[in-house]
Structure 1
Amino acid sequence: MNKFLFKYIDNTGLVLFRVVFGALIATEAFGAIFTGWLRRTLVDTPFTFNFIGFDFLQNLQGPLLYYYFVVMGLFGIFVMLGFKYRFSMVAYALMWTCVYLMQKSSYNNHYYLMMLLCWIMAFLPANRWFSLDAKINPGIKNPAMPRWVLLILILQVWIVYTYASVAKWYPEWLNASVPALFMQGKKHYWLIGEFLQKNWVHWSIAYVGILFDLLIVPLMLWKRTRLLGFVISVFFHLFNSIVFQIGIFPYMSIAFALFFFSPETLQKRFLPKKKLYTEGEVIIPKNRNIIIGVFSIYFLVQIGLPLRHWFFKDDVLWTEEGHRLSWRMMLRSKSGNLTVYVKDKESGVKKRYNYQELLGDKQARAVKTKPDLLWQLAQRIKKVEAEKGNDVAVYMDCLVMVNNGVYFPFIDPNVDLASEEWHPFKHHDWILPSPEDYNKKPVKE
C-alpha cells in the first residue's frame, strides 16, 4: 500500500492541468459576467433559491457580485500562472462554493464538479514546476509528486463518468426518445440543425453517450487504446460543446487526458525543458494516516451520494429527490404549470397569489418542477406576508410534464407547504405518487 500510494512519479500532467484548469475557471468567472449569466441568475432576481440551509448567502446577491466575479476571475489567472497558488486556489474554491450554494435555478453538473476539483486542487502540489511560485522561490521546485495525487484525480473522474452512464439506463433514454426531444430544440442551428433531427443521430447519441461514459476511463488507462480514447474524447466533448453549449465542461473534460498520458509524452510535447523524474522513490509522509483517512471518507461520500435516491420512495425522475450531486446529466425534460394560493389563518380567506413578483424569469421557470424550490417558495411567501402582518398558509396546485408527455398533478394541493419541514434524506409525502403512465405521450388529434 505504501509503495502504491507514496511512490513518487513525474508531475508534468498535474502541472499542465493546473495551467489549463486555471484558465478555464478564470473563463468561467469572467464569462458569467459577459454572457449575462450573472445578471440573469444572481443580480436582477430578488430571490435565488439557494441550497437549503444556506439562506445567509442571499446577502451576497446584487450588483456587488460583479466585483466578486472579477476578483474570482483574477484568482483563476493566478492559479494558471502558479502565483500564490495555494492561497489563490483556496480563495477561488471558497468563492465558487458560495456561488454554487447560492442558487439552484441554473443547476449544472459541471458547476458541482468544478467545486470539487477546486478543493482537491487546493491541496495538491501543482505549483512545484512551471509556476511563478517556483520561479520566485526555487526551493519549492520539484519535478515529482506522490502517486496518490494522480490516483485521486483519476478516481474522481471515473466516478463522474460511471454514474453518468448508469443514470442513462432507463427506458426513455434507451429508446432514444429523450435525445430526440433534446434535438428538437436544435432545429435552428446553422448547418447542423436538420442533421440533428435524423433518427439515427438520436440513437447514436443515446448509445454513444452510455458507452462513452462507461468506457472512456478504461480506454485511457490502457496504453494500447489511449490514443483512440483521446480522439473519441475530443470529438465527443466538442460535439457536446457545439450542440449543448454547456460552458467550460467539455474542455475541462478533454483536459483530464493529461492524467492518463505518460510523463515522457507530455514532457516532450509541452515542457521540453522540464526535468523528467524517473527515480521512483517511496517517501512515506508523517501524516500518512490523515491523507488516507480524509480521502477514504471523501470517496465514500462521492460513491454513496449518487446512490441515495434508491433509498427514497418513488422514482427520482418524478420526485427529483436525490437528483442533485448524483451526476444525473441531461436525462430528462420537464415543464410545469403552477398556481399558488394563500389562506389567511385569521380570516380564513383563500386567494390566488402572484408568486412571479418574488422571482426572476429564470427562477419562475425552474420552480414549477422542483419540490425543494416549491417548498422554498412557500417559505418565502410566508415570510413576505408575515412582514406585512399576515399569518398565511400556502397551497400549491402544480402540474408536471416529463419528457414531453402529458401533465399530471405533482403536489398535494391540500397541504400547507409553508408549515412543512424539509428533510434532505427523507421522502416528502406531499409529493404525489408518480403515475404509472407519466411518460406517455399526448394523443394527437
Structure 2
Amino acid sequence: MMPNKKFFIFESDACKRFLFSPVDIAPLALFRIFFGILLAWHCFEAIFSGWVLINLIKPKFTFSHIGMDWLQPLPGNGMYYYFGIMGITAIFVAIGLFYRWSLALFTILWAGFYFMQKTMYNNHYYLLMLIGIIMFLLPANRNYSLDAKIFPKIKTNYIPAWCINVMIFQIGIVYFFAAMAKLYPGWLDGSYIQIMLHKQTLPFWKGFYQQRWLHYLLAYSGFLFDLLIVPLLLWNRTRMYAFVAAILFHTFNSIHLNIGIFPFFALSFSVFFFPASTIRKIFFRNVIPQKEELIVYGKNTLKWFFIPYFILQLALPVRHFFIKGDVLWSEEGHRLSWRMMLRSRTGYIKFIIRDNETGKRKVYKLSKILTKRQIKSMKSRPDMIWQTAQKINEKYAQKGKKISIFIDCKVSLNHQPKKVLINPNVDFAKAEWNYFSHNDWILLRD
C-alpha cells in the first residue's frame, strides 16, 4: 500500500498554510532597507575610524580561518577599496537596485573579509554573512525598491509565509544557543559580568557597577532575555513588552560593549514579529486587500537549501559536546556557535625556538610578524597559536634553517588562576591541526 503523500513534508494542509500562505511583503522590504543601511554604515565607519588600517592594512599577515591561509588582505590600500565597494553595494541593497547582484557581491566580499581575519572576531560578522545568504534567496526587492520601479512586472504586495518564517527561525537559533551557552558557573555567578563592567564602564558609573547584586541581575536577565525574547515577540499579548525590553537590552549593550552595529541589527529583526499591517501603516502609509490563495513559490529552495541549512545551523552549536574537554577552555567548537560575550581570556605566551643544528634556544620576538592587537588576541586562543607557530616555521624555512618550536603558555579564564594551556613538550614545527576533534597538544583543565 502506497503511503499517503500528505505525510510528506510540504504536502500536509497545515504545512502548506504555514509555508505558503500569502503574507504582506512590507516587513521583508523594510528589513531589506534596514539591513542595507546598517551594512553601509558598518563598511564606511570601518574605513574612516581606522579599523581597516589597524586590522587589515598594518598587519604583515592576518589570521585567516584555518584552511584559508591563502585568503589575505589586498596589498597597499586595497582594503579601503574593498570596503568601499561593500559599502556601495550595501546602499544598492537598501534602495533595492539590482538587488540580487548587489547582495551577491556584498555577501561574497563579506565572506572573504570574515574568513580572512580572526583577530577582531565577532559573532555578528558571521550572522551578517548568513543573513546575506538568506536574503539573496528571498524576493525582498519586489516592492518598495528601484527594481520594482524599473521592472514593474516583478512588483507584488505578497510573498509566501516561509520568507518570513526562515528569518524568525534563524534569529531564534541565535538567541537560543546564546542562552544555552550562558549556563556555566562563570556566567551564573556574575563573575564575567563583573569583569565586563569593570572594563567598559565610564568613571561616574564605576561605583554603581561594582555592586554584586547588579552582576547577578544582569547575568540572569541576560540569560532570560536570550531564552525568552523570541517566544515573547511571537505572542501578541507580550510582544510590545518584549520589544521595549529588546530596546533597553540592546541600548545597554551598545553603550557598554562597543559591538558596533549588532544591537541595531538585532533590533531590526523585530519587524518580522509585528503584524504586517502595522509595519505598512507606520512605514509605507498605504493599505492592501487581503489575499487568500496560497503562493507556492520557492518549494525547491526550501527543500534543497533551507532544510540542509538549518540542520547545519542546529548541529554546529552542539558540536563541542562531541569534542573532548571544556569548550570554554580549549576553544574547540567555539566559533560558529553563538557563544557571544561569554568569558574573558588573558594570559602570556612565549615561542621558544631551538636551532636543530646548534641546539641553541631563544625566545622569538613576536613583534617581528604580529601587531600588538594580534598578539593580545592570539596568546590565549589555540588555533591562532598554532597558526603563529606555522608562520614562524615558514620564516625560518625560507632561510634554509630547520628549527623546533616549543610554547610556554598559561591562560586565565575569567580572572581565575593561570593554568598551562599548551603542552610545552610538543614541537610545533611538526604539530598538526585537527579540524574535527580534540588536539592533544591543548592541555585540558582538571
Per the TM superposition, whether the score is higher than 0.5 is yes
Residue equivalent to 1:88: 102
CA contact (8 A) 2:73 2:79 kept: no
CA contact (8 A) 2:160 2:296 kept: no
- The answer as to 2:231 corresponding to 1:243 is no
- 2:211 aligned to which of 198, 201, 205: 198
Counterpart amino acid of residue 438 in structure 2: H
CA contact (8 A) 1:9 1:277 kept: no
1:7-406 equivalences under 5 Å are 7-58=21-72, 60=74, 62-187=76-201, 189=202, 191-273=204-286, 275-276=287-288, 278-285=290-297, 288-406=299-417
Pair 142,230 (structure 1): closer, same or farther in 2 beyond 3 Å: same
- What is the CA distance between 1:331 and its match in structure 2? 1.0
Counterpart amino acid of residue 107 in structure 1: Y
Q: What secondary structure does 1:235 align onto? A: helix
Q: 1 CA distance for matches of 2:240 and 2:426? A: 57
Q: TM-score, normalised by structure 1?
A: 0.94
1:25-44 CA distance string (max 9 Å, x none): 00111111122211111110
CA contact (8 A) 1:143 1:277 kept: no
Q: 1 CA distance for matches of 2:258 and 2:292? A: 42
Residue equivalent to 2:9: none
- What is the CA distance between 1:62 and its match in structure 2? 4.3
- What is the CA distance between 1:290 and its match in structure 2? 4.4
Q: 1 CA distance for matches of 2:292 and 2:381? A: 51
Counterpart amino acid of residue 305 in structure 1: L
CA contact (8 A) 2:329 2:445 kept: yes
Could you say what the CA RMSD is over the residues aligned between the two structures, in angstroms? 1.3
Residue equivalent to 1:442: none
CA contact (8 A) 1:267 1:276 kept: no
Share of identical aligned residues, percent? 45
Q: TM-score, normalised by structure 2?
A: 0.94
- What is the CA distance between 1:135 and its match in structure 2? 1.2
- The answer as to 2:424 corresponding to 1:413 is yes
Q: 1 CA distance for matches of 2:339 and 2:181? A: 6
Q: 1 CA distance for matches of 2:372 and 2:90? A: 30
CA contact (8 A) 2:353 2:362 kept: yes
1:273-315 CA distance string (max 9 Å, x none): 3x52521321324x62442231110001100000011111111
Q: Which moved more, 1:358-367 or 1:417-426?
A: 417-426
Q: What secondary structure does 1:22 align onto? A: helix
CA contact (8 A) 1:186 1:196 kept: no
Q: 2 CA distance for matches of 1:314 and 1:404? A: 20
CA contact (8 A) 1:186 1:193 kept: no
Q: 2 CA distance for matches of 1:192 and 1:86? A: 46
1:306-360 CA distance string (max 9 Å, x none): 0011111111111010011100011110111111111222333322211221001
- The answer as to 2:445 corresponding to 1:422 is no
CA contact (8 A) 2:20 2:162 kept: yes
